[in-house]
């Protein structure tokens, strides 16, 4: 296969390949070879792209493309042949049509914080980076929605709304970097989605460029559009059904009051039992997050909050509501924690203290570098009453495989994030981490849960799909995929196994992800 | 007479549908409690009714996880009573709960007054099983409250009106039952005055879970159904709150103070026992009664009061979930039983359109049925919807006529 047959050829990798650090390094060193690779995008396409976009918005220099070879999932890498930075829906649509004319695959990218390899350009092709489309077009408090561009960073909307009495509820821990388009595609969650729901519960509509380049409007500022909820279907479709170029998002009233608490436990066991008891008692906290001793250590070293280093686990808990009721709720949670063996329960005494607590929580991952050269986060979910079991299982796996595992996660949702620490230069450790991850996720399935609560399937967990879903389930999902992405050129090789024939039908995971998140 | 199949298990249903797809390819119509059938599809001789009433088991209720899994044929009332024993609920209001099945409620995307505070089924449905037109029993989602594996088939099930697949089983996430609830019933001279109050409510110190606006004849129907003596001579605004005894009382007092400067004519509060018949009457109002046409409009909330002004002038009995911009209206027959009220329908639909919304007919008398445009303006995404229907049901076996509007 070569330039002459009009298909893109990527010299260094065809499809995602599995490589260790040394191989990755060798890819970086062969930059000049890659020049030739990107030159293998049909010349006609490159010319067309330069006609559609300004010169600065078409990047094909290998040195600059390297940045785009992976996202937050750094295990599997592949460079796109070209990255484009459109500034309007029309430009996105024109790029998509051009790719189709030349039979070249393409995929959208936001901030690239995906932890599942959602932005991996499987088979190379054109990457459509939406980061230059970042306007806030409208904030309508009367009708409680905002219209925003897909490249807008989540926290920028939060900041813009400050003082209005309203906010955009989904608050992924990566909100300082991730984009609303990326949140749309992955159906992101966050600490406060326990009470307020995940992204799909807050998206009213979207303008989408389909795989064939058509621009369509799904949903909109009015609720209950007659017909199918295509907005709901496209949210969480990981960029495989269309490229979101504008979003209508729901704005939520700020809570009148909140109380933020930190409960300190001797053991992880006690803490997880407390979570179960709180949920079982019918309390709906605004947030309920757990950090175990390993993570506390790292966070304390980074932020000096004053976390007790000898505690087995802490729960970061928040209740919100009317001023009149939050104290009673907080007290109920405190007494449940005490009954479950909490050594102490502290309350954040000021807004500053609350913010600091949340900062520790949201940046916990940044602190992990202090513990280990490499790490791998899993994103399993279990029914909330099964948390004690899964955490015991994780401890057991940690012992059996001799892999250190720390935990920081959305406990109230049953969404665990065990972080496996290792040194990826040691192949034996890598093997053990892989086996351990697999065992943890398999147990999540056995306990009636899922392998991903918010990070998505991407390329990382594609092999788990056939364990979660029957062939019939996957066939129906395949029909939906083919309905809107029939040629499979849009984001090939994601989410659904054996689809679109892009060469990655068989993709054993050999090296676990190193990046982690909460 | 249409033929009938009443499966007693999901697998049995799948086998039947697969046999049908491979064989005679009869058209199929899933049937729940028959509470909204007139909205659904045309009566047809060759259709086979799939009656889901026997698929009604409680599959799993791990109450402490606050999730429940049930089969589609269970009635809403039965589910709510099961949940109530654990002091839990699915906080969506369903009309005709003793007849309506969960499957029907999901297929029609049923809702009611509490959606202002609690959202709708799309916020609670986390798992679904269904049989497609080829007879494949498939599922999407799961039984945990957070899950992003695969396409979100739950969203497709909601409001699909039996056209994509026969829905057989659901998992919902649940909420605790509130300890107390209360309502304030107020009247104003005009809907324009109510709009001022609605704007004030956007920054209220209270957090209402229901914000209902009623035209006077609709208010009369509701007050009457609740056996309550409530003022009904002017446009009515009803606000509902939930919580503990003390937060309910506090919010009612707070709301009263916030509203009074806006020209309240009459104000009555209903708490504890007095509130619940009014809540149910507010929920039941959507059920078609004797009026020839019942519609639902969806608008930007900011345009809803203009719509109500227009509707009221045309004699329509209308209820608006004002925080969500949804309006249910019953168009009465012209006095003397003369010409059918198609002009009113056209006028209201036109307004809905200019207000960025739409209007669909949910019920029409038999004699009007063929003369009515049921679905209103095609949505911009209508082509994509048809594509999906075609992909999942290539032979158009499931509720085939819905896309062209019932009755055609
Ligand atoms: C430190 C850290 C913490 C994190 N915490 C959380 C958390 O709390 N909760 C959570 O849910 N996730 C979390 N994540 C994961 C990640 O941030 C989210 O998945 C986020 O939504 C990705 O946004 P992005 O802009 O970076 O998208 P990208 O990574 O660029 O893209 C993600 C996927 O979306 C697709 N995509 C991007 N833009 C579009 C678009 N406009 N239209 C269609 N498809 C598109 C891509 O093709 C890709 O498949 C975390 C990640 C990190 C690194």
Residue B190's nearest CA partner among B130, B249, B262, B86 is B262
Lowest mean pLDDT among A2-11, A177-186, A296-305, B373-382: A2-11
Summarize the confidence of residues A449-456 as an average pLDDT: 96
The number of residues in chain B equals: 408
Alpha-helical regions (H) of A20-167: 21-29, 31-39, 43-52, 62-65, 89-101, 154-161
Decide if A138 touches B, using CB distance below 8 A.
no
pLDDT at B236: 98
My answer on whether B79 and B216 are in the same domain is no
Domain end residue (candidates: B235, B251, B283): B283
- By Cβ distance, the residue of B138, B247, B382 closest to A324 is B247
Residue of A nearest to B321 (CA): A223
Question: Per-residue pLDDT for A57 more than 80?
Answer: yes
Note the pLDDT tens digit of each residue in B349-368.
999 999 989 999 999 888 88
Task: Calculate ∠ Cα A294-A300-A301, nearest 5°.
Answer: 95
List of chain B residues whose C-beta atoms are within 8 Å of the C-beta of residue A470: 138-139
My answer on whether B172 and B199 are in the same domain is no
Q: Is residue B230 part of a domain?
A: yes
DSSP structure class, residue A131:
T
My answer on whether B192 and B261 are in the same domain is yes
- By Cβ distance, the residue of A141, A226, A483 closest to B388 is A483
Question: Per-residue pLDDT for A22 more than 90?
Answer: no
pLDDT at A40: 63
Q: Is residue B377 part of a domain?
A: no
My answer on whether B300 and B264 are in the same domain is no
Residue B335's nearest CA partner among B292, B272, B396 is B292
CA distance A44 to A50: 10
| Pocket residue to mutate for ligand 1, from A106, A180, A182, most atoms within 8 A of Cβ | A182
- Is the distance from the beta carbon of residue A454 to the nearest atom of ligand 1 less than 6 Å? yes
My answer on whether B75 and B134 are in the same domain is yes
List of chain A residues whose C-beta atoms are within 8 Å of the C-beta of residue B67: 383
Tell me the β-bridge partners of B359.
Answer: B297
ipTM of the prediction? 0.96
My answer on whether B128 and B189 are in the same domain is no
Summarize the confidence of residues A161-181 as an average pLDDT: 96
Atom of ligand 1 nearest to the CA of A366: 1
As a whole number of angstroms, the longest Cα–Cα distance in chain A is 72
Summarize the confidence of residues A145-152 as an average pLDDT: 98
Decide if B386 touches A, using CB distance below 8 A.
no
CA distance A388 to B134: 42
pLDDT classification of A37: cutoffs 50, 70, 90? very low
Domains in chain A and their CATH numbers?
15-129 (3.30.43.10), 136-253 (3.30.465.10), 257-366 (3.30.70.2190), 372-446 (3.30.70.2740)
- By Cβ distance, the residue of B326, B356, B385 closest to A224 is B326
My answer on whether B203 and B254 are in the same domain is yes
Question: Per-residue pLDDT for A501 more than 60?
Answer: no
CA distance B116 to B320: 11
pLDDT above 70 covers a percentage of chain A that reads 88
Residue of B nearest to A382 (CA): B144
A268-280 and A323-339 helices, crossing angle to 10°: 140
Most A CBs within 10 Å, among B150, B207, B403, to test the A interface: B150
Residue B242: CATH number of its domain: 3.30.70.2190
DSSP structure class, residue A116:
S
pLDDT at B47: 87
List of chain B residues whose C-beta atoms are within 8 Å of the C-beta of residue A381: 144-147
The number of residues in chain A equals: 518
Contact B244 A325 (CB under 8 A): yes
Decide if B253 touches A, using CB distance below 8 A.
no
**φ, ψ dihedrals at A113, nearest 5°:** -95, 5
Decide if B227 touches A, using CB distance below 8 A.
no
Q: How far is the CA of A173 from the centre of ligand 1 (A)?
A: 11
- Is the distance from the beta carbon of residue A149 to the nearest atom of ligand 1 less than 6 Å? no
Residue B157's nearest CA partner among B134, B186, B120, B130 is B130
Q: Is residue B105 part of a domain?
A: yes
Q: How far is the CA of A177 from the centre of ligand 1 (A)?
A: 9
Most A CBs within 10 Å, among B17, B384, B385, B404, to test the A interface: B384
Residue B323: CATH number of its domain: 3.30.70
Distance to chain A for B233, nearest Cα, Å:
28
pLDDT at B1: 52
**For the CA atoms of chain B, what is the radius of gyration?**
22
Most B CBs within 10 Å, among A147, A228, A242, A477, to test the B interface: A228
Atom of ligand 1 nearest to the CA of A242: 43
pLDDT at B36: 66
Q: Is residue B12 part of a domain?
A: yes
My answer on whether B15 and B156 are in the same domain is yes
- Is the distance from the beta carbon of residue A96 to the nearest atom of ligand 1 less than 6 Å? no
- Number of structural domains (chain B) is 3
Lookup result for tokens 């986390």? B126
Domain end residue (candidates: B176, B201, B216): B176
Q: Which strands sit side by side in the sheet containing A126-129, from one edge to the other?
A: A58-59, A82-84, A126-129, A106-109
Contact A469 B159 (CB under 8 A): no
My answer on whether B18 and B141 are in the same domain is yes
**φ, ψ dihedrals at B105, nearest 5°:** -60, -40
**CB atoms near residue B283 (< 10 Å):** 23
Look at strands B47-51 and B3-5 and give their pairing: parallel
Lookup result for tokens 């949340």? A358
Summarize the confidence of residues A175-188 as an average pLDDT: 97
Task: Show the domain range for B363.
Answer: 286-369
pLDDT at B295: 95
- Report the half-sphere exposure of B59 (CA within 13 A, side-chain side): 21
Q: What is the DSSP string of B252-268?
A: HHHHHHHHGGGT--EEE
- Is the distance from the beta carbon of residue A515 to the nearest atom of ligand 1 less than 6 Å? yes
Pair of tokens at residue B14: 């799948």
List of chain B residues whose C-beta atoms are within 8 Å of the C-beta of residue A450: 142, 144, 146-149
pLDDT at B373: 85
My answer on whether B42 and B157 are in the same domain is yes
Look at strands B27-31 and B47-51 and give their pairing: parallel
Q: Is residue B407 part of a domain?
A: no
CA distance B132 to B138: 8
Q: Is residue B394 part of a domain?
A: no
Lookup result for tokens 């561009």? A149
My answer on whether B160 and B193 are in the same domain is no
Decide if B11 touches A, using CB distance below 8 A.
no
DSSP structure class, residue B325:
T
The whole-model pTM stands at 0.93
My answer on whether B57 and B187 are in the same domain is no
Residue of A nearest to B135 (CA): A472
| Pocket residue to mutate for ligand 1, from A91, A199, A494, A517, most atoms within 8 A of Cβ | A517
**SS3 state at A286:** coil
pLDDT at A469: 97
Domain end residue (candidates: B142, B176, B210): B176
Task: Calculate ∠ Cα B150-A412-A287, nearest 5°.
Answer: 110
Summarize the confidence of residues A169-182 as an average pLDDT: 95
Residue B60: CATH number of its domain: 3.30.465.10
Pair of tokens at residue B347: 């006028």
Contact A284 B122 (CB under 8 A): no
Beta strands in A85-141 (DSSP E): 106-109, 126-129, 136-140
Q: Can you say how many angstroms the Cα of residue A4 is from the centroid of all Cα atoms in its chain?
A: 38
Q: Is residue B54 part of a domain?
A: yes
Q: Is residue B379 part of a domain?
A: no
Lowest mean pLDDT among B71-80, B227-236, B270-279, B393-402: B393-402
pLDDT at A29: 29
pLDDT classification of A9: cutoffs 50, 70, 90? very low
Summarize the confidence of residues B299-311 as an average pLDDT: 97
Note the pLDDT tens digit of each residue in B138-170.
999 999 999 999 999 999 999 999 999 999 999
């Amino acid at each position: 296969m070569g330039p002459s047959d009009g298909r893109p050829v990527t010299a260094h990798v065809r499809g995602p390949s599995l490589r260790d650090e040394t191989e990755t390094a060798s890819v970086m060193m062969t930059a000049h070879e890659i020049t030739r690779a990107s030159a293998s995008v049909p010349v006609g396409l490159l010319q067309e792209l330069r006609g559609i976009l300004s010169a600065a918005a078409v990047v094909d220099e290998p040195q600059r493309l390297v940045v785009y070879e992976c996202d937050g999932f750094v295990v599997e890498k592949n460079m796109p042949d070209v990255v484009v930075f459109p500034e309007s829906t029309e430009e996105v649509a024109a790029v998509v049509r051009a790719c189709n004319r030349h039979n070249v695959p393409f995929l959208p990218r936001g901030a690239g914080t995906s932890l599942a390899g959602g932005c991996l350009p499987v088979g190379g092709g054109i990457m459509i980076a939406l980061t230059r489309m970042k306007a806030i077009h409208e904030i309508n408090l009367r009708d409680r929605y905002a219209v925003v561009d897909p490249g807008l960073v989540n926290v920028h909307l939060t900041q813009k709304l400050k003082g209005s009495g309203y906010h955009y509820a989904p608050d992924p821990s990566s909100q300082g970097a991730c984009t609303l388009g990326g949140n749309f595609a992955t159906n992101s969650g966050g600490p406060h989605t326990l009470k307020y729901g995940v992204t799909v519960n807050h998206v009213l509509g979207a303008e989408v460029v389909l795989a064939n380049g058509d621009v369509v409007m799904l949903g909109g500022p009015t609720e209950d559009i007659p017909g199918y909820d295509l907005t709901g279907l496209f949210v969480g479709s990981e960029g495989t059904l269309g490229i979101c170029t504008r979003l209508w998002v729901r704005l939520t009233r700020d809570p009148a009051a909140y109380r933020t608490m930190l409960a300190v436990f001797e053991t992880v066991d006690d803490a997880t039992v407390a979570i179960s008891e709180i949920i079982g008692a019918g309390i709906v906290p605004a947030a309920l997050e757990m950090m175990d001793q390993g993570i506390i250590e790292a966070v304390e070293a980074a932020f000096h909050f004053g976390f007790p280093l000898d505690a087995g686990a802490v729960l970061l808990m928040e209740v919100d509501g009317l001023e009149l009721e939050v104290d009673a709720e907080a007290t109920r949670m405190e007494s449940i924690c005490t009954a479950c063996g909490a050594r102490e329960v502290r309350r954040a005494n000021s807004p500053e203290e609350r913010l600091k607590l949340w900062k520790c929580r949201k940046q916990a991952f940044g602190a992990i570098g202090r513990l280990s050269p490499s790490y791998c986060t899993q994103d399993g979910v279990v029914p909330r009453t099964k948390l004690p079991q899964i955490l015991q299982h994780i401890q057991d796996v940690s012992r059996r495989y001799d892999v250190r595992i720390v935990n920081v996660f959305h406990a109230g949702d049953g969404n665990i994030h065990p972080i496996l620490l290792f040194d990826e230069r040691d192949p034996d450790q890598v093997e053990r981490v892989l086996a351990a991850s697999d065992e943890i996720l398999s147990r999540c399935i056995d306990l009636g849960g899922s392998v991903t609560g918010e990070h998505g399937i991407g390329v990382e967990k594609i092999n788990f799909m056939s364990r979660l879903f029957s062939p019939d389930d996957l066939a129906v999902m395949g029909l939906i995929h083919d309905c809107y992405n029939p040629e499979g050129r849009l984001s090939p090789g994601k989410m659904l196994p054996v689809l679109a024939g892009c060469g990655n039908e068989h993709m054993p995971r050999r090296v676990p992800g190193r990046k982690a998140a909460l | 007479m249409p033929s009938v199949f009443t499966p007693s298990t999901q697998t049995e249903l799948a086998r039947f549908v697969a046999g049908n797809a491979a064989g005679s390819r009869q058209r199929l119509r899933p049937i729940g409690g028959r509470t909204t059938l007139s909205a659904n599809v045309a009566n047809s001789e060759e259709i086979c009714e799939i009656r889901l009433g026997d698929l009604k088991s409680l599959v799993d209720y791990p109450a402490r996880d606050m999730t429940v899994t049930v089969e589609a044929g269970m009635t809403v009332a039965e589910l709510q009573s099961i949940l109530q024993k654990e002091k839990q609920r699915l906080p969506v209001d369903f009309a005709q709960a003793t007849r309506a099945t969960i499957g029907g409620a999901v297929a029609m995307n049923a809702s009611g007054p509490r959606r202002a505070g609690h959202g709708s089924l799309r916020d609670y449905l986390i798992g679904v099983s269904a049989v497609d037109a080829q007879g494949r029993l498939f599922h999407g989602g799961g039984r945990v409250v957070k899950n992003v594996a695969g396409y979100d088939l739950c969203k497709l099930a909601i409001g699909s009106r039996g056209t994509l697949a026969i829905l057989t089983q659901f998992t919902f996430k649940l909420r605790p039952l509130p300890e107390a609830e209360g309502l304030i019933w107020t009247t104003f001279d005009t809907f324009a005055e109510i709009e001022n109050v609605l704007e004030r409510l956007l920054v209220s110190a209270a957090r209402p879970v229901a914000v209902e606006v009623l035209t006077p004849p609709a208010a009369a129907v509701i007050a009457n159904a609740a056996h309550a003596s409530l003022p009904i001579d002017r446009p009515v605004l009803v606000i509902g709150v939930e919580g503990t005894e003390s937060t309910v009382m506090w919010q009612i007092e707070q709301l009263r103070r916030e509203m009074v400067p806006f020209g309240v004519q009459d104000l009555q509060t209903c708490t504890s026992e007095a509130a619940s018949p009014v809540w149910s009457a507010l929920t039941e109002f959507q059920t078609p009664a004797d009026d020839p046409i019942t519609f639902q409009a969806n608008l930007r909330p900011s345009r809803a009061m203009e719509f109500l002004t227009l509707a009221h002038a045309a004699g329509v009995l209308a209820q608006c979930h004002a925080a969500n911009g949804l309006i249910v209206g019953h168009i009465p027959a012209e006095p003397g039983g003369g010409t059918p009220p198609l002009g009113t329908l056209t006028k209201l639909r036109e307004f809905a359109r200019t207000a960025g919304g739409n209007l669909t007919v949910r019920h029409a008398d038999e004699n009007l049925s063929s003369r009515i445009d049921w679905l209103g303006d095609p949505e911009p995404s209508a082509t994509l919807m048809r594509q999906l229907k075609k992909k999942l049901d290539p032979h158009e076996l499931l509720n085939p006529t819905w896309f062209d509007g019932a009755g055609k």
